[in-house]
Structure 1
Amino acid sequence: MAEFVKVASTGEIAPGQCRLVTVNGADIALFNVDGNFFALSNACTHDEGPLAEGEIAGHEVTCPWHGAKFDIRTGEVLGPPAYDAVVRYDVRVTGGDIEVAV
């Protein structure tokens, strides 16, 4: 069963920004979209590009290596060259703490 682990504080990630966090050896891209927080595996499913370094537009992140696009909320693919979704992690905010289930 997954447990929630504190990875950041809400004030550390501005809206429209992302931060790379590592939890139990997993690299996770933590996004703030209009004050809502989402977490995806940092590795693009096309060629393992770093999604935390990608361009964010609304609920979409574009991999900086080859342009694959993913829905930040679900991890689903929105554009090639990737065809598989990235892993999505559950996120909760407790007080000012952002916690990710791993």
Structure 2
Amino acid sequence: MSISTLRPVPRPRASDPTRSMARPLRAGEAANVALVANGKPNSMELLDALAARLSSRIGVREVRRYRKPSVSVAPTEHDMAEIAEWAHAVLTAVGD
């Protein structure tokens, strides 16, 4: 009998010159953090706890909370545009 293992390592993709990785947040640097709840019960409570933990590790200037209209749909276009313009970091979570 043999055992097969799978190492889920993403394959490199062709680079997109219009996109780049965000630089890491640094301790002491004030950051705007967006919390995006997926619409399930307790998702915002989980995000609030994560934001508090993040605040203890780095400087958080402001936290804004967003809630998707439903579990099965994306955030509104208005919310997505605001998050993209304003946030330095985004946390999203599942509740229950």
With the length of structure 1 as denominator, give the TM-score of the two structures.
Answer: 0.24
User: Relative to total residues, which structure has the larger helix share, 1 or 2?
Assistant: 2
- With CA pairs under 8 Å and 6+ residues apart, which has the higher RCO, 1 or 2? 2
* Bigger-Rg structure (1/2): 2
User: Relative to total residues, which structure has the larger strand share, 1 or 2?
Assistant: 1
